[in-house]
Amino acid sequence: MSDTTDETQEPAKKFLSYHAPRGLALLRGAVSAVPARLNSISEEQAGLKPAPDKWSKKEELGHLIDSAFNNHRRIIRAQLEDSPALPGYDGDGWVRLNDYQNRDWQELIKLWRASNRQLLAASEAAPEDSWSRECMIGDSEPLTLRFVLDDYADHMLDHLRHIGVETENLSAPRSEGDSPYPEKPAPTGYSINELMRRRWSPRAFEEGRAVERLKIMSLLEAARWAPSCYNEQPWRYLVFDGTDEEALLRARACLVEGNLWAHKAPLLMLSVARRTFTHNGKPNRTTRHDVGLASENLVLQAVDMGLVAHQMAGFDVERARHEFSIPEGYMILAMIAIGYPHRGSVENLTESLRAKETARRSRKAISEFAFAGRWGVPYGE
Ligand SMILES: Cc1cc2nc3c(=O)[nH]c(=O)nc-3n(C[C@H](O)[C@H](O)[C@H](O)COP(=O)(O)O)c2cc1C
């Protein structure tokens, strides 16, 4: 099976931040997931002050916006200057002077996202060695930028929890031992959702680390809520999670030689599409489209939980049909390898795997696939 990945180009090592600060993954996850969670809080709830001298949710989120602005300056200045002495800031004073209590909740959510997106962009662009650069804040000892960003993220999560936002399931490492998601964000020309920007198809997994049942259920729940023609929900997934070890080995044995790397994934899923509609038995023209939507949901959910997922057409379809007794009324589509990211440096991978993991990501230009009203007329700026 050959696919069209452009792996011959210059490596994208800059993005593969296996050694990036812990706070970077937390920040990425928060920018992607927190606005939706904040949206479930009403304008009225957001403005309630628990006591005259206590912050409302609006004011507390405002404090986080101030924190993002202040820390953005720190990240930039400590790269431009050697050990700069930077000011602290009066949290209460900033909240009062910015009049957050009288601002619109939706506007504050947008501002929180924009300020953190800016901090994220600057942090992602920071070269690996900049994380050991130092600055002083207020009357502090010299602090590394790694500490500044980690501390920023911890402080942000504390306040978000206090506001009432669920902070589990951000794409941050779940526990001390978890390896971070291997970031290789899409170099987009226009702004897109953070989760989509981060999704890619890694081939290196943490060996021997199973994906927990609850996470597998979340993956399937994400697939479950995909849209489909007539709400047919034509997707079926055969799940090989290792509970039945022999089934997992038989699924692995279906993979072509080019996909041997996927043998290290602790979890395989096989996507299958029902060919006909249940309500009238007629062929379902969009069944593959619908299963693709479900699988994309599943894969994005994986990224959101810090898992890596890689879809594959490179396997023996007839063998899979036979091995798993899949009826003829169902089309076999793709195998998906899922697991925790590889631990440690990319340098520890074999040369060919390393080249693939660090290959630059590429796409056609929008004008090559979007047409303006008539076939072949590029839709452009
Ligand atoms: C249906 C499907 C089949 C694929 N088959 C394979 C495969 O057999 N082997 C492989 O290494 N990658 C496979 N890929 C991954 C693609 O090569 C990858 O998605 C594409 O190059 C874009 O890269 P990205 O996902 O990292 O953005 C497949 C992806 C899809 C969606």
**Domains of the chain, with CATH numbers?**
19-163 (1.20.120.450), 196-369 (3.40.109.10)
Q: What 3-state class would DSSP assign to 143? A: strand
Contacts of 81 (CB under 8 A, 6+ apart): none
Q: What is the pLDDT of residue 14?
A: 44
Contacts of 321 (CB under 8 A, 6+ apart): 332
- CA-proximal residue: ligand 1, atom 5 (nearest): 312
DSSP, res 10: P
Gap from CA of 312 to ligand 1 centroid (Å): 6
As a whole number of angstroms, the distance between CA 208 and CA 277 comes to 40
List the chain pLDDT tens, one digit each, 381 residues.
333 333 334 444 444 444 578 888 889 889 888 998 899 999 999 999 999 999 999 999 999 999 999 999 999 999 999 999 999 999 999 999 999 999 999 999 999 999 999 999 999 889 888 999 999 999 999 999 999 999 999 999 999 999 999 887 665 445 545 677 888 889 988 988 888 999 999 999 998 899 999 999 999 999 999 999 999 999 999 999 999 999 999 999 999 999 999 999 999 999 999 999 999 999 999 999 999 999 999 999 999 888 999 999 999 999 999 999 999 999 999 999 999 999 877 888 889 999 999 999 999 999 999 999 999 999 986
- Which helix (DSSP H) or strand (DSSP E) does residue 186 occupy? none
- CA-proximal residue: ligand 1, atom 30 (nearest): 311
Is 94 buried (19+), middle (13-18) or exposed (0-12) by CB count in 10 A? middle
Gap from CA of 26 to ligand 1 centroid (Å): 27
DSSP, res 130: G
Which atom of ligand 1 lies nearest, measured to the CA of 200?
Answer: 26
Which atom of ligand 1 lies nearest, measured to the CA of 3?
Answer: 17
Gap from CA of 246 to ligand 1 centroid (Å): 26
Q: What is the pLDDT of residue 71?
A: 97
DSSP, res 258: G
In the chain, count H helices and then E strands. Answer: 13, 7
Which atom of ligand 1 lies nearest, measured to the CA of 310?
Answer: 15
DSSP, res 217: H
- CA-proximal residue: ligand 1, atom 7 (nearest): 312
Which atom of ligand 1 lies nearest, measured to the CA of 312?
Answer: 5
Query: Structure pTM?
Result: 0.67
- Which helix (DSSP H) or strand (DSSP E) does residue 299 occupy? helix 287-304
Pairing of strands 134-137, 143-144: antiparallel
Instruction: List pocket residues of ligand 1, CB cut-off 6 Å.
Output: 1, 3, 5, 200-201, 259, 311-314, 334, 361
Gap from CA of 4 to ligand 1 centroid (Å): 8
Contact 259, 314 (CB under 8 A): yes
The structure tokens 């993002």 sit at: 68
One-letter identity of residue 185: P
As a whole number of angstroms, the distance between CA 240 and CA 323 comes to 13
Q: What is the pLDDT of residue 177?
A: 58
Q: What is the pLDDT of residue 178?
A: 64
One-letter identity of residue 259: N
- CA-proximal residue: ligand 1, atom 27 (nearest): 200
Which atom of ligand 1 lies nearest, measured to the CA of 186?
Answer: 27
Longest CA pairwise span in the chain (Å)? 74
Which atom of ligand 1 lies nearest, measured to the CA of 334?
Answer: 1
Q: Where are the beta strands (DSSP E) in 167-325?
A: 235-240, 267-274, 308-312
Contacts of 27 (CB under 8 A, 6+ apart): 116, 119, 120, 123, 149, 152, 153, 156
- Count how many residues are written for the chain: 381
CA atoms within 13 A on the CB side of 135: 25
- CA-proximal residue: ligand 1, atom 29 (nearest): 311
Contact 56, 102 (CB under 8 A): no
To test the pocket of ligand 1, the residue of 311, 331, 333, 356 to mutate (highest count of ligand atoms within 8 Å of its CB) is: 311
Find, among 148, 168, 147, the residue nearest to 157 by Cα.
168
Contact 290, 271 (CB under 8 A): no
Gap from CA of 23 to ligand 1 centroid (Å): 29
Contacts of 379 (CB under 8 A, 6+ apart): 366, 367, 370, 371, 372
Gap from CA of 296 to ligand 1 centroid (Å): 12
Which atom of ligand 1 lies nearest, measured to the CA of 261?
Answer: 11
Q: For residue 312, list its beta bridge partners.
A: 335
Find, among 282, 280, 273, 281, the residue nearest to 228 by Cα.
273
To test the pocket of ligand 1, the residue of 1, 2, 4, 5 to mutate (highest count of ligand atoms within 8 Å of its CB) is: 5
Gap from CA of 362 to ligand 1 centroid (Å): 12
Phi, psi of 9, rounded to the nearest 5 degrees: -80, 170
Helices 105-125 and 145-163, axial angle in degrees (round to 10):
160
Instruction: State the SS3 of 303-358.
Output: HHCCCEEEEECCECHHHHHHHCCCCCCEEEEEEEEEECECCCCHHHCCHHHHHHHH
Gap from CA of 313 to ligand 1 centroid (Å): 8
Q: What is the pLDDT of residue 129?
A: 86
| Assigned token pair, 112 | 């929180």
